[in-house]
Structure 1
């Protein structure tokens, strides 16, 4: 144990003597539990299965958007290519 850890234990010992070790440990575990619940509610702590499912959904939707973008911009690009060819033919 390092000096810092020993100092931390020394701070808790008077509380454990005054209120009892079980009460102090219960309070510490309660604080940890509240922190975990808060992380789950905020979405910082997510089960792996839900994360994998969200990533699969994102990839599937991105593929759909890419396909729609190609369908939308394909004709527009063809028009621009034809305009460029027409301008070159008129000048030469």
Structure 2
């Protein structure tokens, strides 16, 4: 540990003694979390290029899934259309009688 780190700890110890260690640790953890959140938001923690590449991959994979879903659902839609047509034709015959 360097001298700066030790002097920092020496300044924090009276606060821990006065207010309690738990409160001090919560305060330090809150500072760390806020700093990490800010770093993510500004792009220091995760480079913007990586985020853009991940979003492009997500869009590409979503298009592939949509295409597969359309191919999978097409036969089922055909069956529903035929059932609707048959049902409509049956109802027209019943009303005409």
Task: Give unpaired runs (5+ residues) of structure 1.
Answer: 1-21
CA separation in 2, counterparts of 1:91 and 1:50?
59
Q: Which residue of 1 aligns with 2:74?
A: 74
CA separation in 2, counterparts of 1:48 and 1:69?
31
Task: Give unpaired runs (5+ residues) of structure 2.
Answer: 9-27, 93-97
1:49-92 CA-partner distances (Å, limit 9, x unpaired): 11011000000000001111111111111110110100111221
CA separation in 1, counterparts of 2:51 and 2:83?
47
Secondary structure, counterpart of 2:90 in structure 1: helix
CA separation in 2, counterparts of 1:88 and 1:23?
84
Q: Which residue of 1 aligns with 2:15?
A: none
CA separation in 2, counterparts of 1:48 and 1:60?
18
Q: Which residue of 2 aligns with 1:17?
A: none
Indicate yes or no: 2:88 matched with 1:88. yes
CA separation in 2, counterparts of 1:48 and 1:55?
11
Q: Which residue of 1 aligns with 2:4?
A: 23
Task: Provide TM-score, normalisation by structure 2.
Answer: 0.50
Q: Which residue of 1 aligns with 2:60?
A: 60
Please tell me the root mean square deviation across aligned C-alpha atoms, in Å.
Answer: 3.1
1:1-39 CA-partner distances (Å, limit 9, x unpaired): xxxxxxxxxxxxxxxxxxxxx726x95xxx9xxx59xx4
CA separation in 2, counterparts of 1:81 and 1:56?
36
Instruction: List, as ranges, runs of 4+ consecutive aligned residues in structure 1 with deviation greater than 6 Å.
Output: none
